[in-house]
Structure 1
Amino acid sequence: MSETAPPANRSGPGRVLIAVYAVFALAATARATVQILTDFEAAPLAYLLSALAGVIYIVATVGIARADRTSHLVAMVSCAVELAGVLIVGTLSLVDPAAFPDDTVWSRYGSGYLFIPLVLPVLGLLWLRHVNRLDRARAHAS
């Protein structure tokens, strides 16, 4: 009896990526929730963008963690939206700092978070491409 290989998303690098996404999902969502509930009028755009980032991180985390095609498609879209968000908000926060009186997760390309928000969606997209290639190779071999 032969055992099937575990899904690639459950291997070492996949687990690390999922864990980092989960931490960012929790951190961004919790921070934005507190900011919105306690000081929303100070920087509504920044706080709403942080909440959006948190939701996107949650969706990406679940999509990467699950092994089905639909989840991976959702994760790919989430990572692409996340990358666009960090590039757009990062650029706007440098060009017009007054528009962002308080930082978002994506401000200055995520500099407040060691630029992880800039790197994370790229890693997510690369990982999902890798997993898709492995899945196709496994399907072709069987």
Structure 2
Amino acid sequence: MDTDAFRLEKTLTYQLHQLSKLIDRQVDYSDIERIELNAGEGRTIAVLGYYGTASVIQLARLANLDKSQASRAIGALVKKGIIEKRSDSRDARAFELFLTEAGQQVYSDIVDLIVQRNELALKSLTLREKQQLFALFGKIHQNLSG
């Protein structure tokens, strides 16, 4: 690699991190700050709210967490009364995870936050540009997962 031609600000990972930090500075998190969620817990709630139920392994995959991160998030959210574990009717050794009524409200707050963040970040793009952006993200995702 030609380190003389290297430009940090032209790398995808640097740009994504910078955009994430800029969005974080612009968005009002007060609705969910009262719950004191970390990123893994927030993604856990988002996944369970969106999909309705999941096993620990499914949750870890969908929330992009390793199994130990998922287990910690689940434990913390059960203690907070946000999620509930129920025995899996198909496998007595396993359990399924669901949002509680309180968890449904937190999920609603998180969805509002996600929508706000996306609208803020994408407001100057046309519909076609948004479609192109997400198509490109899809291609990058394929590169990295296949």
Q: TM-score, length-normalised on structure 1?
A: 0.32
- Structure number having the greater strand percentage: 2
Structure number with the higher helix fraction is 1
Higher radius of gyration, 1 or 2: 2
